[in-house]
Each structure stands twice: as C-alpha cells, then as structure tokens.
C-alpha cells in the first residue's frame, strides 16, 4: 500500500512539471495569436519559473508534493492562489523556528501552481491540450486507486469464477446456507484499517 502511494506521488511530481511546461508552451503560442497580450505571458513565465524551481527542489530532496496538491491534481481541478493560507503568516509562532526564522512554506508547490492558473489567459482552443493532459493523468490515477481498492476488498483468493455452479454457491453463501465441499472457500473482508489506508490516497486534508 505504501509503495502504491509513493508511486502515485512521484508520478504527480512528473505530471506537475509537465503541466507547467505545457501551460507555458500554450501561453507562448497565444502570444503569437494575440500579440497585444504580452503582459500575461510575462506573468505566466515568471510563475512557471518559480514552480519549476519548487518542483526540482522537491525532487532533489526526495520529498513529495503536499496532499492538498496531489488531491487536486487527481481531480484535474484548477485552483487560485488565494485559497491557500497566507505565507509568511502574519503572526503564527508555530510557523517560526528557533531564532524567529520563518519555516519553509508547506504549500510552496500548490502556491506556485495556483499563481500560474491565475496568470494564464488562454482560449478554449489553446487550453485544450493542457486540459487533455490533466484529465488523462487524473483518469489514470483514479483507475489505479480503484484497482488498489478492489484488490484489497476482493483479493484473488476469494474471487469466484463466472460459471453457473459458482454463482449458485455465491447465492447460497449470501443466504447463509452451507456449501458443498467442492465450493470455493469464502473469507471475510479485510480489516477496516487496510481500507482506511487506501482511502488516504484520495481523502487528504485540505488547509484550514
């Protein structure tokens, strides 16, 4: 389970970087179509540069993206920067280290991507490639989550073949009747803690 979660978040890092590059490429194409909107491209380029630096630092440190961001990438859900807590906090001792230094921004990658979303000005035609990339990755991750959950709830050892005899055995089991010795064994669902660990993949906490 831990390996599946780690693989998903590492994949999110690569997807995050690819999204930044795709948004910048679409914005540069938009400037060729609409030369008078150069200011938006400048803001987008600055935001993308910041986001690329954040994600490269995350990769170099062997860290993962924050759950707030992974959750929204899986939903293919754009968001503005202002939904995140302000940083640096105006007066929060919990966000300060010894000596008064401000701790690292826990939402640095989310903040950088939200700033990109705020800066872009793209038509539907120009944003289609970016949207298709986001939805394709999100759909793949949701399918993997569903496959992982199904493998926990219904492991291969208790799955029934599709033959008539086995369907009848399943009906007898549901009614509480004893099966024959040739019927495949039935076992109880896994412990709730295993399912709960899977749900952590899709239900991270959002910032207050």
- The answer to whether position 9 is within a domain reads yes
As for how many domains the chain has, the answer is 1
User: Exposure string (b/e) for 50-87, b if CB count within 10 Å is 16 or more?
Assistant: bbbebbeebbeeeebbbbbbbbbbbebeebebeebeee
Q: Please report the pLDDT score of residue 201 as a whole number.
A: 41
> 64 pLDDT exceeds 80?
yes
Distance in angstroms (rounded) separating the CA atoms of residues 60 and 56: 6
DSSP 96: B
- The answer to whether position 208 is within a domain reads no
Where is pLDDT greater, at 1 or 113?
Answer: 113
- The answer to whether position 185 is within a domain reads no
Q: Are 56 and 48 in contact (CB under 8 A)?
A: no
Model pTM above 0.75: no
> 192 pLDDT exceeds 50?
no
SS3 161: coil
- The answer to whether position 205 is within a domain reads no
Contacts 24+ apart (CB under 8 A), 55-63: 55/13, 55/16, 55/17, 55/20, 55/109, 56/17, 58/13, 58/109, 59/13
- The answer to whether position 204 is within a domain reads no
Q: What is the extent of the structural domain holding 150?
A: 2-91+100-179+191-199
- Summarize the confidence of residues 60-84 as an average pLDDT: 92
- The answer to whether position 121 is within a domain reads yes
- The answer to whether position 118 is within a domain reads yes
> 31 pLDDT exceeds 80?
yes
- The answer to whether position 206 is within a domain reads no
> 47 pLDDT exceeds 90?
yes
Q: Answer whether the bond into residue 88 is a cis peptide, omega within 30°.
A: yes
- Summarize the confidence of residues 148-174 as an average pLDDT: 69
């Amino acid at each position: 389970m831990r390996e599946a979660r780690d693989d998903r978040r590492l994949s999110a890092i690569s997807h995050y970087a690819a999204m930044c590059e795709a948004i910048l490429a679409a914005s540069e194409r938009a400037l060729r179509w609409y030369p008078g909107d150069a200011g938006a491209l400048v803001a987008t380029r600055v935001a993308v540069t910041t986001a690329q630096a954040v994600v490269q630092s995350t990769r170099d440190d062997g860290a993962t993206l924050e759950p707030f961001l992974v959750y929204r990438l899986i939903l293919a859900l754009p968001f503005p920067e202002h939904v995140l807590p302000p940083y640096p906090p105006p007066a929060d001792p919990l966000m300060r280290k010894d000596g008064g230094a401000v701790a690292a921004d826990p939402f640095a990658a989310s903040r950088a991507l939200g700033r990109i979303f705020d800066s872009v000005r793209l038509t539907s035609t120009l944003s289609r490639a970016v949207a298709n990339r986001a939805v394709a990755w999100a759909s793949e991750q949701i399918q993997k989550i569903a496959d992982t959950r199904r493998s926990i709830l219904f492991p291969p050892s208790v799955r029934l073949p599709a033959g008539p005899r086995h369907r009848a055995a399943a009906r007898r089991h549901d009614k509480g009747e004893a099966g024959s010795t040739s019927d495949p064994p039935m076992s109880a669902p896994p412990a709730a803690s295993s399912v709960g660990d899977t749900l952590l993949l899709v239900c991270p906490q959002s910032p207050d």
